[in-house]
Copies of this chain bind each other. A is one copy, B any other.
Amino acid sequence: MQFNVDATCGKARACTITTAHSTIQTPIFMPVGTVGSVKALDMADMTELLDTQIILANTYHMYLRPGDETVAKMGGLHGYTTYPNSFLTDSGGFQAFSLSDISKPTESGIEFRSHIDGSKHFFTPEKVIDIQNNLNSDIMMILDDLVALPATQERIKTSIQRTTQWAQQSIDYHRYNQSKGIGINQNIFAIIQGGTDFNFRTQSAEELCAMDYDGFAIGGLSVGESNNLMYDTVEHTTPLMPADKPRYLMGVGTPEDLVENIERGVDMFDCVMPTRNARNGTLFTTFGKVNIKGAVYKYDAQPIDPDCQCYTCRRYSRAYLHHLFRSREITYFRLASLHNLHYYLWLVRQAREAIIAGQFIEFKKDFYARRQS
């Protein structure tokens, strides 16, 4: 991976990441393609309509179905799905933790049952790298020990220690693999934990950032804490992360979250929000949220956002989308998902331009002003 900081504006950064499959300009939002498909959209939508350079796939899901060995056999994620640009895969730990009925973190990994058929599985730091080697993602995430908040100080302490220990195992294993020719073009990121406790965050960041990772993520946020506490924790943590490597805030968030955390020095984001909310009727615009279910849209001939140039806004009215949503038409899901992802990707591109122009503060002011008008 090549990484370059193209410009900064305050703590906000505009960077360029080059992987074996694409060149990614940050700040970037990565659409979530859980099972190797961004829900309701296809890979040509990703490249031709949304111009994405990187998307995410979930290791937990791909491991359970169709199986990482199946994916490997069919040419890895790129061959299997035909998406030609970069994939980031998570470690699977979060899903093993959140989707599984039983999930037991131990000293050596996480035991869990499949949400599909109840079968038992065990993820270790090495195992999730093996899986991600099979998936051949461009950026792999390591296994971390997640904590449900609120948690005791002791439990958080264990999580930090375990995450650091697993991180050491993970980087050793990956570099060893690479020396054997495995995962040569794959990059690996560690995940800083510590909840909203600044001391723990400092400890986790210092321990992990001393290791030879290609990038670092902030994990364990956007799990129910207040927005301000999330922003403060990010603000505390980013200065502890190396300036010459990408910074990824996992699972975040709203358009406001993106703007606030870009300001605090984050380069990469992912979240199911734009696609999930689209399916539930919530559309994001420059002037705030539109709930397309609302009766007020029944005769509204305007596009979702008159300022938007997406596939959907160039073609369809709020009235028609309102009707498709109320009629539970499958068609609605794609049109709404295209719009929301287009908005998120447009937003981070606008942020990048503002950073390069040295006008991030003005950009942020304008972003909020439009939402209040």
Q: Which residues of A line the B interface, CB within 8 A?
A: 35-44, 61, 65-66, 70, 73-74, 80-82, 298-299, 301, 311, 315-317, 319-320, 323-324, 326-327, 329-331, 333-335
B44 touches A323 (CB 8 A): no
Q: Quick one: which of B40, B82, B299, B317 contacts A330, CB cutoff 8 A?
A: B40
B330 touches A65 (CB 8 A): no
Q: Of residues A36, A42, A299, A324, which shows the largest number of chain B Cβ atoms within 10 Å of its Cβ?
A: A42
A299 touches B40 (CB 8 A): no
Which residues of chain B come closer than 8 Å to A39, judged between CB atoms?
329-331
Which 9 residue pairs of A and B lie closest in terms of their CB atoms, listed nearest first? A40-B330, A37-B331, A35-B327, A66-B323, A37-B329, A330-B333, A42-B331, A74-B319, A82-B315
Chain B residue nearest in CB terms to A299: B73
A334 touches B323 (CB 8 A): no
Closest-CB distance, A311 to chain B (whole angstroms): 8
Known: A37-B324, A41-B331, A70-B323. 19 other contacts (CB 8 A): A35-B324, A35-B329, A39-B329, A39-B330, A39-B331, A42-B334, A65-B326, A65-B327, A66-B319, A70-B298, A70-B319, A74-B299, A80-B317, A80-B319, A80-B320, A82-B316, A82-B320, A330-B330, A330-B334
A82 to B81 CA separation, bound complex (whole angstroms): 31
Q: List 6 A-B contacts (CB under 8 A).
A: A35-B324, A35-B329, A44-B311, A66-B298, A82-B315, A330-B334
Chain B residue nearest in CB terms to A116: B327
Which residues of chain B come closer than 8 Å to A43, judged between CB atoms?
315
B42 touches A323 (CB 8 A): no
Which residues of chain B come closer than 8 Å to A41, judged between CB atoms?
331
Chain B residue nearest in CB terms to A323: B66
Q: Of residues A39, A329, A331, which shows the largest number of chain B Cβ atoms within 10 Å of its Cβ?
A: A331
A317 touches B42 (CB 8 A): no
A334 to B337 CA separation, bound complex (whole angstroms): 14
Which residues of chain B come closer than 8 Å to A324, judged between CB atoms?
35, 37
Which residues of chain B come closer than 8 Å to A333, judged between CB atoms?
330
A329 to B337 CA separation, bound complex (whole angstroms): 14
- Given A42-B335, A331-B39, CB of A320 within 8 Å of CB of B81: yes
B320 touches A44 (CB 8 A): no
Chain B residue nearest in CB terms to A43: B315
B44 touches A315 (CB 8 A): yes
A39 to B70 CA separation, bound complex (whole angstroms): 31
A319 to B73 CA separation, bound complex (whole angstroms): 11
Which residues of chain B come closer than 8 Å to A334, judged between CB atoms?
40, 42, 330, 334
Q: Quick one: which of B70, B299, B316, B323 contacts A65, CB cutoff 8 A?
A: B323
Closest-CB distance, A235 to chain B (whole angstroms): 38
Which residues of chain B come closer than 8 Å to A299, judged between CB atoms?
70, 73-74
Which residues of chain B come closer than 8 Å to A323, judged between CB atoms?
35-36, 65-66, 70, 80
Closest-CB distance, A115 to chain B (whole angstroms): 12
Which residues of chain B come closer than 8 Å to A37, judged between CB atoms?
324, 327, 329, 331
Which residues of chain B come closer than 8 Å to A65, judged between CB atoms?
323, 326-327
A72 to B319 CA separation, bound complex (whole angstroms): 12
Chain B residue nearest in CB terms to A36: B323
A301 touches B74 (CB 8 A): yes
Chain B residue nearest in CB terms to A335: B42
Which residues of chain B come closer than 8 Å to A81, judged between CB atoms?
320
